[in-house]
Amino acid sequence: MAFVTLEQKGPVGIITMNRPEALNALNDQVLRDLDSVLDQVEAQEDILVAILTGSGRSFVAGADIGQMSELTAAQAKQFGVLGNRVFLKLENLTKPTIAAVNGFALGGGCELAMACDIRVASVRARFGQPEVGLGITPGFGGTQRLPRLVGSANAMELILTARNIKAEEAQAMGLVSHVYEPEELMDKALELANAIAANAQVAVRQSKAAIRRGLQTDMATGVAYESEAFALCFATEDQKDAMKAFLNKEKVTAFKNR
C-alpha cells in the first residue's frame, strides 16, 4: 500500500494519502490502494473512527492530470466509475470518518473530503472544483455532494467559476466544520475522533446511517428509517446500562458497544 497508509492510535484509524511527490494526486493505483485500506478499516473491530489526511503539503491536489490527459471517453468513464465506487465506499463506511484537510483539496481532493462525514481544515487548506477550467466536469461526485453540503447556489458558483477558496470561506459556507493552525490540525482531529469513539458505537453507527439515508430520500422515508434505528438501540446492552446509570445519577465510564 505504497500510496495509502493506515496507522492506529487507540480506537482511531489514521488513513494517509501518501504520494507527496505528486501532491497526493489520484490515479488508478492510489484509488485501488484507498479501496483496500477502507476494507481494512471496516473489518478491524478495534477501529471505531477513521481520520483521512494527506502527507506533505497537500491533502489531495486532485486527480492525476498526466494520466487523465490521454484518456478516451470510454477510459474516462471507467476512471470515473472507479473513483465514484471508492468514494461511495468511504461515504458508506459504518464507522464515522473525519477529513483532516492539511493543504490542497482540489478537484478529486475536494470530492474525497466531501465523502467523509466531517471536515476539519488547516488555515493553509484550499478547496475547489477546477474541472471546467480543464474542459471537463467534476467526476468523483462533486456535482452531487457539493450542493448537498453548501447549497445549490454556492455549488454552482464554485464549480462553474472553477475558483479556489480558503479554509475560512469553506467554513463560512458549511463545507468545513472547524479551521485550525497547521500544528493543531491532527491533535484537534484526534480529539474529535476520540469524542465520537467514547460514545455507544451501535448508536453512533445507526445515527450516521440515518443521516446518510435521510439525505437521499424524502422526510417520511427518512423518519421511518430513523424509527427503526431508534428501536434497534433498545436491544443493546449499552442502552440499558446508560439509562440505568442516568437514573441513578451516574455515568457509564466505558460502553460495551453491543
> What pLDDT, in 10s, does the model give residues 240-254?
999 999 999 999 989
Model confidence pLDDT, tens digit, residues 29-53: 999 999 999 999 999 999 999 999 9
pLDDT of residue 253: 86
Q: What is the pLDDT of residue 190?
A: 98
For residues 184 and 225, state if they share a domain: no
Answer yes or no: do 192 and 212 share one domain: no
Co-location of 137 and 103 in the same domain = yes
- Which residues, in sequence order, are CB contacts of 105 under 8 Å at separation 6+? 59, 60, 99, 112, 113, 121, 125, 126, 127, 128
Q: Same domain for 27 and 106?
A: yes
Q: DSSP assignment, residue 237?
A: H
Does the residue 252 lie in any domain?
no
**Is 54 inside any structural domain?**
yes
154 pLDDT above the threshold of 80: yes
**Do 186 and 239 belong together in one domain?**
no
Higher-scoring residue by pLDDT: 63, 84? 84
Q: Is position 66 within any domain?
A: yes
Please report how many Cα atoms fall inside a 13 Å half-sphere around the Cα of residue 231, on the Cβ side.
6
Summarize the confidence of residues 114-123 as an average pLDDT: 98
Do 65 and 145 share a structural domain? yes
Q: Residue 170 — pLDDT band, cuts 50, 70, 90? A: very high
pLDDT digits (tens, 9 = 90+) for 64-113: 998 899 999 999 999 999 999 999 999 999 999 999 999 999 999 999 99
In a domain, 255, yes or no: no
Pair (76, 112) in one structural domain: yes
At 1 the pLDDT is 57
Q: The CATH number of the domain where 86 resides is what? A: 3.90.226.10
Final residue belonging to a domain, choices 197, 224, 239:
197
Buried b (16+ CB within 10 A) or exposed e, 164-203: bbebebbbebebbeebbeeeebbebbbebbeebbbbbbbb
List active site positions.
111, 131
Please report the pLDDT score of residue 2 as a whole number. 84
Any domain includes 65: yes
Backbone angles phi and psi of 15, in degrees to 5: -95, 125
Domain assignment present for residue 256? The answer is no
**Per the structure block, which three cell numbers stand in for 132?**
471546467
Same structural domain, 170 and 211: no
Q: What is the pLDDT of residues 202-246, one digit of tens each?
A: 999 999 999 999 999 999 999 999 999 999 999 999 999 999 999
User: Is residue 72 one of the residues assigned to a domain?
Assistant: yes
Give one DSSP letter per residue of 109-173, joined into a string: HHHHHHTSSEEEEETT-EEE--GGGGTS---SSHHHHHHHHH-HHHHHHHHHH--EEEHHHHHHT
Query: How far is 250 from 252, CA to CA, in rounded Å?
Result: 7
| Residue 60 near residue 26, CB atoms below 8 Å | yes
* Domain identity same for 103 and 212: no
Does residue 42 sit within a domain? yes
- Shared-domain flag, residues 53 and 123: yes
DSSP designation for 198 = T
Cα–Cα distance measured from residue 127 to residue 117, given in angstroms and rounded to the nearest whole number: 17
- Cα 32–Cα 38–Cα 41 angle in degrees, nearest 5: 150
What's the average model confidence in pLDDT over 163-167? 98
Torsion sign (Cα): 208, 206, 88, 195? positive
For the chain, what is the domain count?
A: 2
Last residue of one domain, picked from the residues 197, 212, 230: 197
Q: Residue 51's pLDDT is what?
A: 98
Instruction: Using the 3D structure, point to which of 155, 179, 197 is the last residue of a domain.
Output: 197
Residue 207: domain span: 201-247
Q: Residue 56 has which C-alpha cell? A: 506533505
Same domain, 87 and 213: no
Task: Say whether both 193 and 79 belong to one domain.
Answer: yes
What is d(CA 6, CA 51) in angstroms, rounded to the nearest whole number? 10
Q: What was the pLDDT predicted at 197?
A: 98
Q: In this structure, what CATH number is given to the domain that contains residue 226? A: 1.10.12.10
